[in-house]
């Protein structure tokens, strides 16, 4: 992927941000480290790093193959930082006289969204002059040797060496075609010793993945660590990767060979104990330093390519030692300079510790004088360290919560969710439910996760025995390791036993006719005895009530009138009843009391449509000695129709047992009272002190003016639950078939078809329940006819005005007296009148519908208003004036019809 770029565009700039979209750019740093260059970039914030390198004309993406061929390596750590190492002699460098080296790279950060990708150009120039005769660089992915080219020092004798290079002739012929370099020599051939010899032309060498550069003064050969011509050799007991090569350079006249062998340590040079990393490097690396009179001049220790001072080495507790054979570096696991990383393998949480130490060694040889600088950047990662997770209980039972800590994790672990017995909750959902998830960080950089779950939460199971409550919490923690999102789980069950007795408790409510008591048993459920009222709740008694047991709850339903309740207050339409429940623990002798009082609407008094009144009196708590059978109505001859030890039931009518009656506005009120007969006088003449018992019994009959318009329908109350003390005064208008008033038109016959001038016989009755009361008097006040059902509609023909016939009508209404007979018990409840249809004649229509309406007055004959109520039309003088009614009187309206009239 090569593209051309304007040359010189970036030459003078050290770090140029080409594209910065995120607000916080990563930190970018570049540093020259001897024969290397190091770029740092981070944090990457989860993005991938790609590196491009640029030579004078091209920009190329550094693939792993190109990186190892060209002298680049990239290192990532678990904190999301990256380092790019480059050999100063990398194949993209702009090399000025082997003294200054300029490298241009592009660091590209790629996320999921291409629009957020960032690219940073880094140009770094390093100066490095103390080149040793030979410089060897071992990096994580390549080994590099750079040898001073003293071509003429080491001419390849045409004849003498022919024995060694048996195959060379062929290559020399080919090499002759090469053009010379500036110094006149170019690399033509590389001879690999594996240990058998393999000779390769320069093109093939490069195709195979080797990098070969001929700089002004040096020859550089670079090999990937997995090169086919590389082999392993045990050097002083340390396995090394070795590439033995001779590079042949030629000009038109001469050829020369340069030893370009290189050897680097392999992972086998490291050994681990749980706490210590030991890395051994041979003191003398035979393939490189064969002469016996070599000297180890310098050893430097560093990390990530940078030398450390002896003080730093000590502070970090690294140790560097030499013995006869080895240079030995020891690094404690966890030491500064490295980092831990989390892993998941087979569902297990593991960690590793990684560090990248650097050794720089300088050897010298005397004869001929050659120095070799040897630099190894050596990434070491420990084997998996089992890091057992632990759930630590920090429960304080008194606080009523589970407090657990799961740990310890590295920072690269994240809790995703927790599965409880009742489902999976994300961390956010846990916090919403009050579980308060926290991360606790430790000074060493690890952390644990703390969780609080109340004992009362539904995720918590509880079991009870006589002495303890055992709370159990099941959890499966769902965790991931970042950035790779490998998931793992940790399953835990924690249990706490809370000592002591958990008391039972009782709560209760009422509905319209029952007490509902809930007993929540504590841990004493086996022994618990429940007493309802005065009785122990035995299975026999339990049968009388509805008892449901659900877990630790017992639900008891008791009707308000049940024998175990007591009545506190009795009113005409309600009764306040009380239920007492106690819990007894025979072991601890604990008794808990609970009582609940509620008012229940109750039909203690019933007023039946036929005038019968039923009333119930009940024994109340405050009159414990009352004997219900002794109760009477006002008329002490009227005793209960039924009685037992708690209640007495009375049946009477509006006319019996001393019942009084009065009109109050539009209500007729019947009244009686239930009481104990007068107390007998004690021997000493003092009335016995006994609380009075007096229950008033009322029956109201509402006079509902607008609702009584039903014509010819018997007021049938289909509802068996008559409103306790109210009934409706019903006024009915009927149409008789003839003047005998024995037979009436049926409802279904309407509309009636009548001929003009045919008389119509109307009867109006005030019905139930007053037909049992002869004192009620009905009077017709106004009657009229309309063509529409609406009684207020026009036109309107007046028939009866103010109780008297309309004198302006040529065919006046005729009133008919009513006398008692089989059907009529109390004539005062009735009125009858006759009207001729001629009255309604309309000139234009051959037929029409007619409705007849009446306003009626119901009054009391005991208090006749001006004595007018009993008679229909007493005083014609009052005609035209509205008669004054007494307070208690009430007015009603009735309507009949329709009647279809024909001319
Ligand atoms: C830059 O790299 C390209 C691709 O490897 C190569 O063809 C070109 O010759 C190089 N240019 C220089 C000036 O080294
Ligand atoms: C990529 O990021 C841009 C800018 O932040 C945003 O508008 C766009 O919706 C994102 N596209 C996707 C596929 O997420
Ligand atoms: C870090 O500290 C915690 C708490 O002291 C300890 O439990 C944990 O093992 C330590 N982790 C490491 C890696 O040393
Ligand atoms: C819970 O988290 C884990 C990650 O450890 C994941 O694999 C699993 O799908 C999550 N479960 C639910 C229901 O989200
Ligand atoms: C009145 O009606 C009630 C309820 O329907 C009934 O129990 C009672 O016997 C009736 N009384 C008479 C006198 O008909
Ligand atoms: C009277 O009749 C009206 C209309 O039907 C009704 O809404 C009202 O409840 C009745 N009143 C009584 C006291 O029955």
DSSP states along 790-817: -TT-SSEEEEEETTEE-TTSSS--EEE-
Q: Which residues pair with 218 in a beta bridge?
A: 148
CA dist., res. 27 & res. 14, Å (int): 14
The alpha helices in 437-482, defined as continuous H runs, are none
Q: Which residues pair with 87 in a beta bridge?
A: 36
In this prediction, the residues of the chain whose per-residue pLDDT falls under 50 are: 1-22, 151-182, 690-691, 704-727, 770, 864-867, 877-888, 903
Residue 593: Cβ-neighbour burial (10 angstroms; 0-12, 13-18, 19+): exposed
CA dist., res. 516 & res. 545, Å (int): 10
Phi, psi of 731 (to 5 degrees): -115, 130
Ligand 6 site, residue 569, Cβ cutoff 6 A: no
Tokens 């018992």 sit on residue: 693
Q: What would the pLDDT profile of 3-35 be if each residue is shown by its tens digit?
A: 433 332 222 223 333 343 445 678 999 999 999
Measured CA distances, 130 to 133, 134, 148, 183, 362 (Å): 9, 11, 12, 21, 12
Cβ(460)–Cβ(427) below 8 Å = no
Ligand 4 site, residue 424, Cβ cutoff 6 A: yes
Q: Which residues pair with 874 in a beta bridge?
A: none
CA dist., res. 478 & res. 155, Å (int): 69
Tokens 């004054």 sit on residue: 884
Q: What atom of ligand 2 comes closest to residue 113's alpha carbon?
A: 1
List the residue whose alpha carbon is closest to atom 6 of ligand 6: 707
Strand 546-550 to strand 553-559: parallel, antiparallel, or no bridges (unpaired)? antiparallel
Residues 6 or more apart whose Cβ sits within 8 Å of residue 553 = 518, 519, 520, 521
Ligand 4 site, residue 487, Cβ cutoff 6 A: yes
838-844 CB contacts, 8 Å cutoff, 24+ apart = 838/756, 838/757, 838/810, 838/811, 839/785, 839/797, 839/799, 839/809, 839/810, 839/811, 840/756, 840/785, 840/797, 840/901, 841/756, 841/901, 841/903, 842/787
Half-sphere exposure of 710 (CA within 13 A, CB side): 18
Give kind and range of the element (H or E) at residue 65.
helix 64-70
CA dist., res. 553 & res. 541, Å (int): 18
What is the 757 CA–ligand 3 centroid distance (Å)?
Answer: 117
Residue 704: Cβ-neighbour burial (10 angstroms; 0-12, 13-18, 19+): middle
Q: What is the CATH architecture assignment of 389-502?
A: Sandwich (2.60)
What is the 606 CA–ligand 5 centroid distance (Å)?
Answer: 11
User: Got the DSSP string for 141-203?
Assistant: SEEEEEEE--GGGSB--TTGGGGTTTTHHHHHHHHTTSPP-TTS-EEEEEEEESSSEEEEEHH
Cβ(472)–Cβ(494) below 8 Å = yes
CA dist., res. 680 & res. 868, Å (int): 48
Domain ranges of the chain: 7-130, 144-166+175-264, 267-381, 389-502, 505-602, 618-702, 706-902
Q: How high is the mean pLDDT of the chain?
A: 79
List the residue whose alpha carbon is closest to atom 3 of ligand 6: 707
Phi, psi of 325 (to 5 degrees): -105, -30
Ligand 6 site, residue 728, Cβ cutoff 6 A: yes
What does the CA dihedral 710, 712, 717, 722 come to, rounded to 10 degrees?
60
Quote the percentage of the chain above a pLDDT of 70: 77
Cβ(67)–Cβ(52) below 8 Å = no
349 alpha carbon, closest ligand = 4
CA dist., res. 583 & res. 531, Å (int): 6
pLDDT of residue 653: 82
pLDDT of residue 17: 36
Cβ(781)–Cβ(885) below 8 Å = no
CA dist., res. 774 & res. 776, Å (int): 5
Question: Which residue in 223, 211, 210 sits closest to 92, CA to CA?
Answer: 211
List the residue whose alpha carbon is closest to atom 2 of ligand 6: 707
Q: Which of 406, 424, 427, 491 to mutate to test the pocket of ligand 4 (most atoms within 8 A of CB)?
A: 424
pLDDT of residue 429: 92
Kindly report the CATH number that applies to the domain delimited by 7-130.
2.60.40
Half-sphere exposure of 416 (CA within 13 A, CB side): 14
pLDDT of residue 419: 95
Two tokens, residue 631 = 């109760």
Question: Which residue in 5, 201, 26, 196 sits closest to 108, CA to CA?
Answer: 26
Q: Which of 610, 657, 769, 772 to mutate to test the pocket of ligand 5 (most atoms within 8 A of CB)?
A: 610
User: Got the DSSP string for 648-694?
Assistant: EEEEEETTSTT-EEEEETTEEEEEEEEEPPPPPBPTTSPBP-----E
344 alpha carbon, closest ligand = 4
pLDDT of residue 756: 65
**Binding-site residues, ligand 1, Cβ < 6 A:** 55-58
Phi, psi of 766 (to 5 degrees): -90, 120
Phi, psi of 539 (to 5 degrees): -55, -35
Ligand 4 site, residue 577, Cβ cutoff 6 A: no
Q: What would the pLDDT profile of 274-298 be if each residue is shown by its tens digit?
A: 999 999 999 988 878 776 778 889 9
Q: Which of 45, 115, 117 to mutate to test the pocket of ligand 2 (most atoms within 8 A of CB)?
A: 115
Two tokens, residue 461 = 């199971």
Two tokens, residue 429 = 């959902």
Q: What is the CATH architecture assignment of 505-602?
A: Sandwich (2.60)
What does the CA dihedral 14, 19, 25, 26 come to, rounded to 10 degrees?
-60
Beta-strand (E) ranges in 541-687?
A: 546-550, 553-559, 565-570, 574-585, 590-601, 605-607, 612-618, 642-643, 647-653, 660-664, 667-675
CA dist., res. 283 & res. 323, Å (int): 8
What is the 722 CA–ligand 5 centroid distance (Å)?
Answer: 12
Kindly report the CATH number that applies to the domain delimited by 618-702.
2.60.40.3210
Phi, psi of 806 (to 5 degrees): -75, 110
pLDDT of residue 251: 81
Q: How many residues does the chain have?
A: 903
Q: Which of 58, 69, 181 to mutate to test the pocket of ligand 1 (most atoms within 8 A of CB)?
A: 58
CA dist., res. 247 & res. 491, Å (int): 62
List the residue whose alpha carbon is closest to atom 7 of ligand 2: 115
What is the 4 CA–ligand 2 centroid distance (Å)?
Answer: 29
What does the CA dihedral 582, 583, 586, 588 come to, rounded to 10 degrees?
-110
Two tokens, residue 139 = 């990096």
893 alpha carbon, closest ligand = 6
Fold classification of 706-902 (topology level):
Immunoglobulin-like (2.60.40)
Q: What would the pLDDT profile of 505-552 be if each residue is shown by its tens digit?
A: 788 888 888 999 988 776 655 667 889 988 888 888 888 888 888 777
| Same fold yes or no, 505-602 and 618-702 | yes
List the residue whose alpha carbon is closest to atom 3 of ligand 3: 442
416 alpha carbon, closest ligand = 4
Q: Which of 444, 447, 449, 450 to mutate to test the pocket of ligand 3 (most atoms within 8 A of CB)?
A: 444
**Binding-site residues, ligand 2, Cβ < 6 A:** 113, 115-116
Strand 211-214 to strand 255-259: parallel, antiparallel, or no bridges (unpaired)? unpaired
What is the 444 CA–ligand 3 centroid distance (Å)?
Answer: 6
pLDDT of residue 204: 93
Two tokens, residue 636 = 């002490």
């Amino acid at each position: 992927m090569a593209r051309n770029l304007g040359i010189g565009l970036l030459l003078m700039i050290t770090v140029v941000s080409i594209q910065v979209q995120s607000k916080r750019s990563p930190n970018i740093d570049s540093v020259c480290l001897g024969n290397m260059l190091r770029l740092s970039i981070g944090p990457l914030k989860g993005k991938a790093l790609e590196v491009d390198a640029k030579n004078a004309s091209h920009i190329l993406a550094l693939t792993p193959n190109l990186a190892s061929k060209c002298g680049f390596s990239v290192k990532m750590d678990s904190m999301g930082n990256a380092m790019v190492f480059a050999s100063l002699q990398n194949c993209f460098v702009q090399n000025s006289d082997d003294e200054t080296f300029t490298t241009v790279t592009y660091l590209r950060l790629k996320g999921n969204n291409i629009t957020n990708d960032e690219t940073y150009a880094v140009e770094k120039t390093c100066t490095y002059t103390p080149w040793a005769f030979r410089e060897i660089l071992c990096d994580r992915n390549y080994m590099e040797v750079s040898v001073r080219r003293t071509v003429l020092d080491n001419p390849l004798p045409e004849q003498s060496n022919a024995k060694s290079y048996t195959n060379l002739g062929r290559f020399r012929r080919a090499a002759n075609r090469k053009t010379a370099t500036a110094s006149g020599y170019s690399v033509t051939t590389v001879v690999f010793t594996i240990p058998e010899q393999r000779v390769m032309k320069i093109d093939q060498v490069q195709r195979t993945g080797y990098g070969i550069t001929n700089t002004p003064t040096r020859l550089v050969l670079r090999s990937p660590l997995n090169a086919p011509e590389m082999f392993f050799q045990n050097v002083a007991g340390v396995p090394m990767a070795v590439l033995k090569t001779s590079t042949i350079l030629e000009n038109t006249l001469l050829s020369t060979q340069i030893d370009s062998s290189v050897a680097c340590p392999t992972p086998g040079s490291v050994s681990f104990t749980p706490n210590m990393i030991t890395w051994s490097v041979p003191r003398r690396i035979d393939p490189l330093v064969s002469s016996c009179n070599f000297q180890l001049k310098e050893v430097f220790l560093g990390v990530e390519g940078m030398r450390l001072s002896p003080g730093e080495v000590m502070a970090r507790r690294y140790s560097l030692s030499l013995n006869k054979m080895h240079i030995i570096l020891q690094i404690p696991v966890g030491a500064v300079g490295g980092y831990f990383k989390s892993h998941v393998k087979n569902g297990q949480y593991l960690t590793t510790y990684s560090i990248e130490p650097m050794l720089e060694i300088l050897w010298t040889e005397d004869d001929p004088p050659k120095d070799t600088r040897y630099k190894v950047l050596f990434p070491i990662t420990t084997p998996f360290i089992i890091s057992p997770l632990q759930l630590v209980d920090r429960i304080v039972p008194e606080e009523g919560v589970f407090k657990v800590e799961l740990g310890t994790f590295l920072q690269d672990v994240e809790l995703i969710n927790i599965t409880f017995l009742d489902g999976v909750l994300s961390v956010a959902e846990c916090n919403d439910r009050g579980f308060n998830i926290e991360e606790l960080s430790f000074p060493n950089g690890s952390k644990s996760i703390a969780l609080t779950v109340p004992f009362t939460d539904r995720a918590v199971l509880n079991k009870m025995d006589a002495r303890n409550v055992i709370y159990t919490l099941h959890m499966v923690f769902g965790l991931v390791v970042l950035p790779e999102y490998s998931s793992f789980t940790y399953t835990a069950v924690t249990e706490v036993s809370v000592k002591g007795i958990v008391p039972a408790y009782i709560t209760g409510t009422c509905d319209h006719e029952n007490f509902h008591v809930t007993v929540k048993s504590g841990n004493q459920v086996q022994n618990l005895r429940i007493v309802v009222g005065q009785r122990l709740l035995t299975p026999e008694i339990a049968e009388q009530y509805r008892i449901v047991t659900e877990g630790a709850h017992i639900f008891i339903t008791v009707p308000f009138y049940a024998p175990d309740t007591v009545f506190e207050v009795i009113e005409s339409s309600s009764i306040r009843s009380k239920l007492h429940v106690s819990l007894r623990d025979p072991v601890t002798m604990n008794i808990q009391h609970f009582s609940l009082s509620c008012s229940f609407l109750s039909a203690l008094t019933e007023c039946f449509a036929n005038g019968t009144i039923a009333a119930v009196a009940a024994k109340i708590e405050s009159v414990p000695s009352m004997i219900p059978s002794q109760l009477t109505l006002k008329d002490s001859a009227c005793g209960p129709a039924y009685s037992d030890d708690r209640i007495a039931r009375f049946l009477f009518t509006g006319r019996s047992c001393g019942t009084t009656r009065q009109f109050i506005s539009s209500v007729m009120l019947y009244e009686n009272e239930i009481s104990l007969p007068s107390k007998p006088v004690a021997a000493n003449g003092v009335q016995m002190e006994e609380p009075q018992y007096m229950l008033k019994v009322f029956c109201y009959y509402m006079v509902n003016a607008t609702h009584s318009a039903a014509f010819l329908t018997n007021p049938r109350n289909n509802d068996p639950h008559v409103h306790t003390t109210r009934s409706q005064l019903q006024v009915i208008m009927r149409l008789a078939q003839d003047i005998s008033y024995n037979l009436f038109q049926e409802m279904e016959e309407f509309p009636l078809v009548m001929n003009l001038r045919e008389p119509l016989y109307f009867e109006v009755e005030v019905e139930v329940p007053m037909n049992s009361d002869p004192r009620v008097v009905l009077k017709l006040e106004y009657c009229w006819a309309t063509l529409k059902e609406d009684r207020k509609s026009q036109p309107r023909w007046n028939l009866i005005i103010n109780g008297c016939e309309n004198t302006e009508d040529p065919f006046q209404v005729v009133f008919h007296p009513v006398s008692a007979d089989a059907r009529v018990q109390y004539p005062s409840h009735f009125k009858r009148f006759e009207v001729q249809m001629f009255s309604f004649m309309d000139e234009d229509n051959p037929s029409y519908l007619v409705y007849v309406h009446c306003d009626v007055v119901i009054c009391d004959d005991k208090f006749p208003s001006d004595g007018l109520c009993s008679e229909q039309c007493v005083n014609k003088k009052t005609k035209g004036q509205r008669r004054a009614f007494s307070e208690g009187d009430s007015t009603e309206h009735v309507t009949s019809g329709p009647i279809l009239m024909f001319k």
